[in-house]
Amino acid sequence: MQIDIDPILQRLGIKAINEASSTGKNWNSAGTNAIHKVFSPVDGKQIAEVKFASEDDYDTTIKKAQEAFKVWRTWPSPKRGEIVRQLGEALRDNKEDLGKLVSYEMGKSLQEGYGEVQEMIDICDFAVGLSRQLYGLTMHSERPLHRMYEQWHPLGIVGIISAFNFPVAVWSWNAALAMVCGDVCVWKPSEKTPLTAVACQNIIQKVFEANDVPEGVSCLLIGDRTIGELMSNDPRMALISATGSTRMGKAVSAAVGARLGKSLLELGGNNAIIISKDADLETSLIGAVFGAVGTAGQRCTSTRRLIIHESVYEEFKNKLVKAYGQLKIGNPLDEKIHVGPLIDQDAVKSYLESIEKCKAEGGNFVVEGGVLEGEGYESGCYVKPCIAEAKNEYQIVQHETFAPILYLMKYSALEEAIAMQNGVPQGLSSAIMTLNLREAEQFLSATGSDCGIANVNIGTSGAEIGGAFGGEKETGGGRESGSDAWKVYMRRQTNTINYSDKLPLAQGIKFDL
């Protein structure tokens, strides 16, 4: 299936050459910017070009954001929520075009492209309700005729550094909540997927112009790691929310921490599903296969490891091999296709190197990998999802490879399986497949999974916006999206009001003049 991308680009306001930065109403360029060509991993064709932001662009954008914050923070939160509501409606109107562009630029399946836009719509709906629920607490004072309470105020500028695999959804998780909280946003998308970011900025710009939103509330900076480094080191940035590799997150954390700034980190995952002897093997198969091959294994929540009870190991392994033999690999815009391409040649290289490392450590591949060639695979980014029998302590198994490589391992007792599940540096998502209530509860207990996400009878991949999303250990500890994740975008203030005619001190301290 081929797609005529030009009409979609035109409707989304994407030009042949796109500017380096936007402050929400105007696109800016210093005129000395490097040109970056954007290619689709689907067919290898160039989609468009973008200019990279210069340091002048960066400084202009941050100054606009600073000025916008002075005004935006004074808007009542429900009024800010109304703007986000209209953004959700605009995304609904553009869902088909934007979903196709996500699929074509990033390489994920068309259904996943549509799903990513739906996730943006859902978080806008969530944020609208949240705009009337930014609650604080009241506390009883130990001093007579005193009242204590806490309230939440906006932080300022929120810097959003997003990754290629979810080129728009993760931005919306941050931006929708930050905006209703009264913050302004500066977004640096992945240079591998900048066009979807341009499209989103064009969509939000129309909403802002119709509502006289101050220029600078939502800004876009396109560039390489230089822009991310400027953001991380800039004391004008109240919060840096960064999604990407653990290596990148450590660099961001060090830079932001050195200036005592705030960071929200969503980093690597090395996610496992435990397949119990009491599992429903048919539903387990669906969860495992989608978790391993969805988005060609390029999700932070992708299933990397299957920890299978020894009594069902061979049976489940055979089911997996058969299922992998039925996978259709090709153009992700064809809805019959299960697996699309990796993002680029660097990802293919990493995939091949990981296979060789696994073999060198003793891994036994029951489904072989490789790069696909020939008609339909001209981009060179299509690879075969593969399965290897391996040990949890293998160095390559301890490492997150952003590709469809699945490792199988056996266990005999649940405590052993949980220890294996927890025995990696990352701690994002986890799951157990079991119909045994005791096993399920043990997995979810304090002695069970050490991940930020722990599921029973569903896979590791595919989170809903209602719950806070994030993980522990080298995953970074951040939380985005639902629950009370909104608090990271605000600063807490404790207030005490004395309405007496005396000044008693806390803890009964006496200080008389």
> Selecting from 3.40.605.10, 3.40.190.10, 3.40.50.2300, 3.40.640.10, what CATH number does the domain 5-267+476-493 have?
3.40.605.10
Taking each helix axis from N to C terminus, what angle separates 194-211 and 95-106, rounded to the nearest 10 degrees? 150
**pLDDT above 80 (res 31):** no
Q: What is the pLDDT of residues 171-213, one digit of tens each?
A: 999 999 999 999 999 999 999 999 999 999 999 999 999 999 9
Q: What would the mean pLDDT of 361-386 be, rounded to a whole number? A: 97
**pLDDT above 70 (res 32):** no
Instruction: Tell me the C-alpha distance between 357 and 385, whole Å.
Output: 16
Q: What is the pLDDT of residues 295-339, one digit of tens each?
A: 999 999 999 999 999 999 999 999 999 999 999 999 999 989 999
Instruction: Tell me the C-alpha distance between 393 and 423, whole Å.
Output: 8
Locate all alpha helices (DSSP H) within 166-245, ordered by sequence.
169-180, 194-211, 225-233
**pLDDT above 80 (res 356):** yes
**From the candidates 105, 112, 119, 266, which is the catalytic residue?**
266
Tokens of 334: 């064809």
Q: What would the mean pLDDT of 154-177 be, rounded to a whole number? A: 98
Q: How far is CA 446 from CA 301, 453, 456, in A?
A: 21, 13, 15
Q: Do residues 469 and 501 lie in contact, with contact meaning Cβ atoms separated by under 8 Å?
A: no
Tokens of 317: 């392994």
pLDDT of residue 463: 84
Q: How far is CA 166 from CA 76, 124, 183, 301, 379, in A?
A: 31, 17, 22, 12, 21
**From the candidates 200, 219, 300, 381, which is the catalytic residue?**
300
For the chain, the domains span: 5-267+476-493, 271-466
- 457 CB-near residues (< 8 Å, 6+ apart): 280, 283, 287, 431, 432, 433, 434, 435, 440
pTM for the complete prediction? Answer: 0.96
Is residue 181 part of the annotated active site? The answer reads no
Instruction: Tell me the C-alpha distance between 172 and 151, whole Å.
Output: 25
pLDDT of residue 194: 97
Element (H, E) at 271: strand 271-275
Is residue 474 part of the annotated active site? The answer reads no
| Number of neighbours of residue 510 by Cβ within 10 angstroms | 6
In this structure, CATH architecture of domain 271-466: 3-Layer(aba) Sandwich (3.40)
Banded model confidence at residue 399, pLDDT cuts 50, 70, 90: very high
